[in-house]
Chains A and B, each alone.
Chain A
Amino acid sequence: MTGFLQHTFDGLVNGAFYALLALGLAVIFGMLRVVNFAHGAFYMLGAMGAYVLLTEFGVPFWWALVIMPVLLGALGMALERAFVHRLAQLDPLYNFLLTFGLTLILQDLVKSRYGVQSIPYATPGELGGSVDLGLFDFPTYRVFVLVFAVAICVGVWWLLTHSRVGMVVRAATERPELTRAFGINVGRWVTPVFGFGIALAGLAGVLAAPMRAVNPLMGADLIIVVFAVVVIGGLGSIFGSVAAGFGIGLVQAWGVVYLADWPILSQTLVFIVMAAVLMWRPAGLFGREEAPA
């Protein structure tokens, strides 16, 4: 039983990363109809940025947690203005290719400066060690990641449901034409929302730096699972992406333990779940089938 709870908790921690990344993707897709392939690269930039801030400027983890999302959010807004925005009227494939190209450029830029080897980033001192959770001990940092990610997700949900900005974004996400018809300037919110989604990816990257290998390719492998998460949750569904993020974290953790004798199965579990969900509900668990494409 303790073992099961431990693995469950661990699955939630891992799911926290999926949730943060999927949330950003969902917000961007909802508002802009852009499948942002570069999301993984911004996650990587978040982690690399935390490293650069620490080693070049002596900026500790806590500040990086604020600075990197702001910086990357600004970069995201600039990219939206400069490129994404220009392709918005065309087939979504164009922006998909654009962001894919951006990914390659960002990865190679980092590669050429920092090489391909992972670089060290230590856990902040305050969060070293482990905490007693009653039945078992768990690394403090992981507990922090989970609490922090849940807080961010709740915060974003609150923002979307209780603020005027949130209402506009939700309305524009679900019925863009109708929202415009009400005289609301949807275009004004497109750039900030894109930046916000990118900032979430950067935040996840900073959170990952102390517990994962920091290297130029760290986002490339992760983003594939995150896309599966978004599809399972329902493209553009904010709640769906968060729920599916944590859910897939759990499925993976349990799969690895209880399907240990069938490694092939435990490794492809995410995609099996995705295929099953798509057969049952083609729009994803929380997606709306009639949502405009």
Chain B
Amino acid sequence: MRRTAGLAAASAVALLAAGCGGGGPAGSGDSKLTDDRVVLGVLNDQSGVYADVSGKNSVKAVEMAIADFKAKYGDKAVTKNISVESADHQNKPDIANTKAAELYDRKGVDAILDVPTSSAALKVADVAKAKKKLYFNITGATTALTGASCNRYTFHYAYDSYMLAHGTGTQATQQGAKNWYIVYPDYAFGQDMEKKFSAAVEGAGGKIVGKDATPFPNDNFSTFLLKAPTLNPKPDTLGTMQAGGDLVNLVKQYNEFKLRDKGVGLAVGLMFLTDIHSLTPAALAGTTYTDAWYWNFDQQNRQWADRFLSETGTRPTFAHAANYSAAMQYLEAVQAAGTDDADTVVKGLEGKEINDVFLRNGKIRAEDHRVVHDAYLAQVKPQAEVKEDWDYVKILKTIPAAEAFAQPSGDCKM
């Protein structure tokens, strides 16, 4: 009896130690890695609306990062045993919660990547905090990740609603769009975008002549499009915060009602390369939006995009490049620290300045873990200027890293 009890107590201790994560190296020999390996976890939408934007190809991008890391360090690498796990959260916060815990606890994941859909993204931040494991959010838009919900183990990597709204709202207003009519889907993302967008437009001297919340999801925007030219004063730009299928609906109908010919231009809050592909550049020619990264921006991006094309058969969105970059930077940090101990790796990352295929003039802010970098004001090319598949936009302006993102908010208490 006493032996069994003792054994139970011992295994409980072992379990607790393992659960604590930072409890010290548990691997064999002199390795400083838990289980003598590094595991990356991609948690995202693999079957729903964001499956093409990020999805399974982000897992591919992370595999590319692992291969590049191994090739770079060869025998000097902290370990050769690096793998990637993935899970589908179906854009549901409760599933994201369970899957994140499963990835950290059962699959031995050291860092979770990606996680689109803000509500799911925030849940995973809580899990990361509780488990004391790293989390690089790529595709979530909410600024709460680096605001009220920030924590020591969470990094917000690619973009956020401030970057999108500020980029397009401010830049387009400065370039001549003075009167705005804004339509936004009536849920958390849309409402948040509308507030930030309106603030950016007004901050740059523009005027909001009207704004309307639309049902979500919605397949008929014609009422709003009919209303646009009748507003007084007449708007010169329609700012849409719609995303995904709703955006496609809106743009199709915007063209049907010939609003561009009626002097109402189009600016989009959040658009991915895949959206332009599905609408065709002809339907969007002249539309401006803010992009976190563009595959054909320069030679470095293009080379990486060519590799991605040969791996996946398609061109990368910014989400794919950002997943690659975050995976690479995490592995570099583990390499530099010589351990996968979360607290040590976090220390190494904080304040680090980075230039890689995704991050230009990148810096990981220690205050709130926002990863700032250059963003881009993009405009969809007219069909006649599209010379190759997927090369749909020209970059009008690089928005410097210091301007692209909001200053650290006072809400974040690490």
Contact = CB atoms under 8 A, between A and B. Distances in A.
Interface residues of B, number: 36
B217 A221 contact: yes
B350 to A, nearest CB: 37
Nearest to A267: B215
A257 interface: yes
A139 B258 CA distance: 8
Interface in B71-103: none
A14 B219 CA distance: 9
A14 B258 contact: no
A217 interface: yes
Interface residues of A, dominant DSSP: helix
With most chain A CB atoms within 10 A of its CB, the pick from B245, B257, B275 is B245
Interface in A118-156: 118-120, 122-123, 130, 139, 141-142
B278 A13 contact: no
Contact of B256 (A3, A119, A139): A139
A266 B224 CA distance: 13
A117 interface: yes
A218 B283 contact: no
A257 B227 contact: yes
Contact of B277 (A13, A117, A263): A117
A276 interface: no
A7 interface: yes
A210 to B, nearest CB: 8
A130 B258 contact: yes
Contact of A116 (B51, B219, B252, B283): B51
Contacts of A6: 226
Nearest to B186: A263
B258 A221 contact: no
A117 B283 contact: no
Contact of A117 (B47, B215, B223, B275): B275
Interface residues of A, number: 40
Interface string A27-71: 000000000000000000000000000000000000000000000
B245 A3 contact: no
Contacts of A119: 278
B374 to A, nearest CB: 27
Given A120-B283, A141-B256, A213-B245, A7 B215 contact: no
B220 interface: yes
Contact of A257 (B47, B51, B223, B277): B223
B290 to A, nearest CB: 20
B301 interface: no
B245 A253 contact: no
Contacts of A10: 222-223, 226
B24 interface: no
Interface string B351-381: 0000000000000000000000000000000
Contacts of B230: 3
A130 B258 CA distance: 9
A230 B203 CA distance: 48
Contact of B52 (A116, A141, A266): A116
A253 B214 CA distance: 12
A12 B246 CA distance: 21
A155 to B, nearest CB: 25
A213 B246 contact: yes
23 contacts: A3-B226, A11-B223, A13-B222, A116-B51, A117-B274, A119-B278, A120-B278, A120-B280, A139-B256, A139-B258, A208-B219, A210-B252, A211-B252, A211-B253, A211-B256, A212-B249, A213-B246, A217-B245, A221-B219, A256-B224, A260-B212, A263-B213, A264-B186
Interface of B: 47-49, 51-52, 186, 212-215, 217, 219-220, 222-224, 226-227, 230, 244-246, 248-249, 252-253, 256-258, 274-275, 277-280, 283
Given A3-B230, A10-B222, A141-B256, 13 more contacts: A7-B223, A10-B223, A13-B222, A14-B222, A116-B48, A116-B52, A118-B279, A139-B258, A212-B219, A217-B49, A252-B220, A256-B214, A263-B213
